[in-house]
Structure 1
Amino acid sequence: MNRIVISNILLFCVLSMSHKTYSQDEYPVMEGQYLGQKPPGMMAEPFAPGIISRQGWELEGVFAPGMKEFYFTTKGGKYKQPTVIGFRQQNNVWKKYIEFMRRGEIVFAPSGTRMHMAEGYRERMGDGWTERKSLGPMFDRDDWGIMRLSASAKGTYVFDDYKSNDVIRISTLKDGKRQAPTLMGPIINTGKWTAHPFIAPDESYLIWDSEREGGYGDSDLYISFRQKDSSWGPAINMGDNVNSDKWDAYASVTPDGKYILFNRGMDDDNNNVDIYWVNANIIENLRPKL
């Protein structure tokens, strides 16, 4: 199953949204942490079923650092193009406060001041965000196809490139200067549809998705842990508590470190994609014991 390249695939959603304003009629009242959802255990389950994860296309769910904002991408109904919907928690109630055209998959810098969007980004400005800016010619290249770029607290960038046979690249900072991106090794760049990396804020692990021999049938989520010599350890399939025989992809860890959010295709054609989540203790269970 090909991984989703959102800008190139036309998908239809049976869900119809009739409201044209940021009316809360689109969503029920949600109070408390995690949009009022009961946290999952060690088996992945849908995130906010019937509210966020509905029939149709909802994916790329991320919380901003501070856990007071939540964003996801949708398409279908009134949204003819992939659109990011943003919620903000105010007085313990989550309210939709923004929507904008999707241009790159959102990943937040650990500081919370930058919203990465592929080769572009927005910066926190007061109570909102600036317009999208470019990371510059080192990343904004016609021969690269960046879908997702993830940043560590040290400023390391890890990103995918679907125009170069689905590979993942890494770019570090040295003496405050951005280093040219290089290909990650075969531990990461093996298999098909290798994409959507997430690097831990402390760079202790990297999660990505790929279709590999020995997997569960479609793209699975894999994790690699940083070794004492700074190399990356073996690629570890995250197991059937996370992965399925469907398309499992685009993982991120909530900024509080407690949960993993990811996408799952609910049918063979990925016309219905939901957001799932699972307890992040799975990461520690997979970490090799010294």
Structure 2
Amino acid sequence: MNCLPNAFALILIFTGSLLAQKPTDSSYLNQNPPGLTPSVFAPDLVSLKDHYEYGSVFSRDGKEFYYAVIIDKKPQIRCIRFEKNAWTAPKTVIGSTKYEYNDPFLSPDGKRLYFISDRATDGKGEKKDFDIWYIERQKDGWSEMPISAGPGINSDKNEYYMSFTNDGTMYFSSNGGTTQATDKNYDIRFSKYVQGKFQPSRKLGTTVNTDHYEADVFVSPDEQYVIFCAERPDGFGKGDLYISFKSKTDEWQPAKNMGNVVNSEGYEFCPFVTSDGKYLFFSRSGDIFWVKTEVINTLR
């Protein structure tokens, strides 16, 4: 008796079963993961040659990706979502022909999308200094009217790029309190979130802040390290990424330049580490880059 047809049928059934069980990959926009050398993220979808993109963040479940892109000289915030087993095309979440919107970051619970903008308080007048704002997640998308992060965060000068610890403490940068002669001296600050309000912010100490520009801070959710952009004379380029770790006694250690594995002769800024701890994202020269977080571990 010839058993080849039956065997062939079994192979087809087994192969079909495997294909049916294979999960759809929703990780990182289906991009090939980087190694220890930074590579451009999603060059065919996000980091486009004819656009300037920067400031990116994934949601904790990895199914939403937000970033800023400059369109007609005005930054706007876009989002790519994993829906119906596929990634959507980029869609604008908030933008304007009058105001700038950039530096997106999600709250720890994912219910708020924070960003910076030079919009007028009423959204109608002339643009002002940059403040931190947020919109709220609704059943059918995001709310339309931005809400100020409040006086504990915003000053009469600029506030830039925020990130959060697990308990909702916001880290950000500001040149609030500077004079005209020192207004380029941005410092890293933090504000506790208590009973629905951000408390008056405080500066980190001199192990992180100097007389130079420090901004674009990412704080690890467990508050054990911060990565930030600084413009310092000992850097590799115009702006480099630095890192400071907390000691066993809960003190910030002197910040270290992250080295030429990450930094270049260009300008590195807008750091972000994914919630699974695998990848460091940052921006450089109008593109978004990513690299394995082993580059962080080598600096401890």
Same fold (TM over 0.5): yes
- Whether the 8 Å contact between 1:190 and 1:212 is mirrored in structure 2 is no
Report whether the alignment pairs 1:198 with 2:206: no
- Give per-residue Cα distances to partners, 1:189-213, cap 9 Å, x unaligned: 1253311011111101111010223
Residue 246 of structure 1 and its aligned partner are, at CA, apart by 0.5
Residue 16 of structure 1 aligns with which residue? none
1:130 to 118, 125, 143: 143
Secondary structure of 1:117 counterpart: strand
Higher relative contact order (CA 8 A, sep 6+): 1
The change in CA–CA distance for 1:233 and 1:39 in structure 2 (over 3 A counts) is same
> What one-letter code is carried by the residue in structure 2 that aligns with 1:39?
P
Residue 144 of structure 1 and its aligned partner are, at CA, apart by 2.7
The change in CA–CA distance for 1:175 and 1:63 in structure 2 (over 3 A counts) is closer
TM-score (norm 1): 0.79
Q: Decide which moves more: 171-180 or 238-247.
A: 171-180
Residue 265 of structure 2 aligns with which residue? 245
Residue 30 of structure 2 aligns with which residue? 36
Structure 2, unpaired ranges of 5+: 1-23, 117-131, 179-184
TM-score (norm 2): 0.76
Cα separation, 2, equivalents of 1:32 and 1:68: 7
Residue 6 of structure 1 aligns with which residue? none
The change in CA–CA distance for 1:174 and 1:109 in structure 2 (over 3 A counts) is closer
Cα separation, 1, equivalents of 2:73 and 2:226: 33
Cα separation, 1, equivalents of 2:136 and 2:194: 23
Q: Decide which moves more: 219-228 or 156-165.
A: 156-165
- Give per-residue Cα distances to partners, 1:139-188, cap 9 Å, x unaligned: 233x2301212111112111111454211211124688743111211121
Residue 125 of structure 2 aligns with which residue? none
Cα separation, 2, equivalents of 1:151 and 1:57: 25
Residue 67 of structure 2 aligns with which residue? 72
Structure 1, unpaired ranges of 5+: 1-29, 266-272
Cα separation, 1, equivalents of 2:35 and 2:297: 14
Residue 165 of structure 2 aligns with which residue? 152
Residue 293 of structure 2 aligns with which residue? 280
The change in CA–CA distance for 1:178 and 1:82 in structure 2 (over 3 A counts) is closer
- Whether the 8 Å contact between 1:258 and 1:280 is mirrored in structure 2 is yes
Residue 192 of structure 2 aligns with which residue? 172
Cα separation, 1, equivalents of 2:111 and 2:28: 20
The change in CA–CA distance for 1:126 and 1:174 in structure 2 (over 3 A counts) is closer
How do residues 232-271 of structure 1 correspond to structure 2 at under 5 angstroms?
A: 232-265=252-285
1:113 to 93, 111, 114: 111
Q: Decide which moves more: 252-261 or 126-135.
A: 126-135
Report whether the alignment pairs 1:231 with 2:254: no
- Whether the 8 Å contact between 1:193 and 1:219 is mirrored in structure 2 is no
Cα separation, 1, equivalents of 2:115 and 2:53: 17
Residue 86 of structure 2 aligns with which residue? 93
- Whether the 8 Å contact between 1:191 and 1:210 is mirrored in structure 2 is no
- Whether the 8 Å contact between 2:150 and 2:198 is mirrored in structure 1 is no
Q: Which structure's CA Rg is the greater one? A: 2
- Whether the 8 Å contact between 1:191 and 1:211 is mirrored in structure 2 is no
Report whether the alignment pairs 1:214 with 2:234: yes
Cα separation, 2, equivalents of 1:39 and 1:286: 22
Secondary structure of 2:89 counterpart: strand
- Whether the 8 Å contact between 2:76 and 2:102 is mirrored in structure 1 is no
Aligned residue pairs total: 248
